[in-house]
Structure 1
Amino acid sequence: MTVLGFLLQKEFRQIRRDTTILRIMFALPVIQLIIFPLAMDFDVKSVNISIVDQDHSTYSQKLISKIASSGYFKIVGAETSFKKSLTYIENGEADLVMEIPAGFERNLVREGVQKIGISVDAINGTKAGIGGQYLNSIIADFNANIDVNVKSGIVPQQGIIDITFTNWFNPRAEYKYNIVPAILVLLLTMIGGFVTALNIVKEKEVGTIEQINVTPIKKWEFILGKLIPFWIIGMIVFTLGLTISWLVYGIIPAGSFLTLYAFAAVYLVALLGFGLLISTYSGNQVQAMFVAFFFIMIFILMSGFFTSTDGMPGWGKVISNMTPVAHFVKTDRMIILKGSSFSDVKQEFLYLVAFAGVLNGWAIWNYRKTN
């Protein structure tokens, strides 16, 4: 058996002995993949609203009924003044306040125009923004269906454009289809970044690194021996994640499994190299853990995991492009949801190959081996 073979045998025995870590590496991804998509849902379906109706007309009642029956809003208060209704927001009981002024129906019928006041609690920016958009959409739909008697002498507006749109690759715009492929990337990132970041450091702490250093093993063989076992574990976890996505959420990749696994394989090599690079610089496991956590948080937040990278400033997009996570999140969604072929994502694959080469080459170069 070669030196690399003996090293791999040692690594697999060491992983098998630490049954707690082994269980965590397989159990936590399963739990995360089942819970996260259910909890991380940007589809806001329960927005509390307080309404001030100062008109008490047929039209104002129709508008209130339309809001209540939409399924998105819960009416928590109906006050006679804006000041009283605002206390619902101040006490955290309401997310929005809508004020219908006196003369609402009269102005709509006679003038064809009437303003409505909407106040939004923006402490929770996501809920406020989405809730405000829902309410604007309902009011616009209500306005479009009002049968207003046009005053004599006023020419009806011409050239109205009716817009019809269709969601491709996620027809019902369900957030779980957007987040599940990204969570698959997150699982591989955790294994590749955190676990391997503690690997070489652990050898330093227990004192076995000195014994390894006096052997004739080459630096690249040592790094490869540390990388291969966790690469295999990562690929098993990825397969497990795809299985759970199918069984729990009914998500089956629309693209080629071969392309998907090719990207996962190269991405894992890149992240494992990153973890080993941190391990070569760290003096103990606490240092390695904090450094890995710092970089992985940046990777996740700048990767488009939660929000699109298109809304980032120029410098943010540059940082995003410098992280392997961003490229795999984009590719994973394209292959699983859109069915993109390898030619469609070839450039992203080359990015990951470059990351894998640089990070692993750096880890091999930085590993200090003394004979």
Structure 2
Amino acid sequence: MDTRTIILLLAIGSFLFFLLLLLDQFRKEPSQRIPYWAGAKFLQAVGSLILFERGPTPEFATIASANTLLLLGCAYEAWAVCYLVGHRVGRQVHAPVALAIVAVCLATFWLPPPNRAAVVFAVHTVFYALPAVVLLRHNRAGSLLRWVLGASYLLVTLLFLAHVLWLAVDVAQSFQPFGAIIYAVMVPSIYGIMIVSGFSMLLLAKDKSDSELEAAQASLRSKDEQYRRKLERLNKTDALTGIANRRHFDAVLTREYARHTRSGEKLSLILADVDHFKAFNDCYGHVAGDDCLRRIGGILAANASRATDLAARYGGEEFACILPMTDLDGACAIAEQIRRALEDLAIPHQGSSTAGVVTASFGVATMRCTTDRTFSEVVAVADKLLYAAKSSGRNCVQCLAVKD
């Protein structure tokens, strides 16, 4: 098979590859398309066709046009390979490079044909070496496709380099047989390597697409998990105060009572009610009332601060604290801390007959959990103590340890 026939086959193969890539690009979303690749094959096809159609004594314009298109196609293919391995080439790079290629091809007008060919082949060598280096140097995952494709480009680089060296030293007739051998091997080898590298790039593009799909799916799973956790947190949290809501309070109290039943430890519960809160809302408005409840919730959370403790809004202006493995003295001390902290906030309350500031009453119950009791008993005891505190003048703490 002569060189001219191989050039024609290269043109046909590149054009068919261009059509295949064009169809593939139209089927994909814009974000999944591989830039430069289809354009590279089209430029290579047209450049090879011009070389095939040239006469025995082609004009410089014909040779320069063919070389420019082939070099541009080679550069664009290098950019496509860079994109496939995660190195996007922007317009600020490929546009100046394209202009430089055109300038180099025009500048060869003043060179004799052998030197002109040497310059063109040297530029080809650079653009085939670039994807070889990118593929082989950045193949940390050990991808077989990258090794095959990188080796293909490296072999083409070596063939072009050998031809450049031959053109550079071709000053004697003794080198003519060697040059003829290089050229005879180079053209069909490039044709075969192009076929291998073309299909390797297709497979590499598929791998990249699959990896991006897996990454997108992993991202969706991560977002779903984040939304699930956020929803779970919202289901457990009181929207106004930011502490636990009644539903979460009931679930935690049920769980802790069962755990304390097994361990035999004491469980304490604090119930609190803001004194004269309706009068506060009537006097200052609901916006101020909401702000007051938020600040009280912050005080409870700051004092029921162990990992096992739970501060919750029990309902309306009522609050609760679950204190696992806490005896009566410890629970009463925490309730008193909360009472004093609220009083120290000094939130004005002109409608209170207890004090000139917002206060609260507390009921504290401690119980040793057993199987013949239920968690509702400790709630009932704490509730009675809360009302006893209100009956005793409010702004105080009533405590009781339920007898075993």
Give TM-score scaled by structure 1 length: 0.23
If asked which structure has higher relative contact order (CA below 8 Å, sep 6+), I would say: 1
Give TM-score scaled by structure 2 length: 0.22
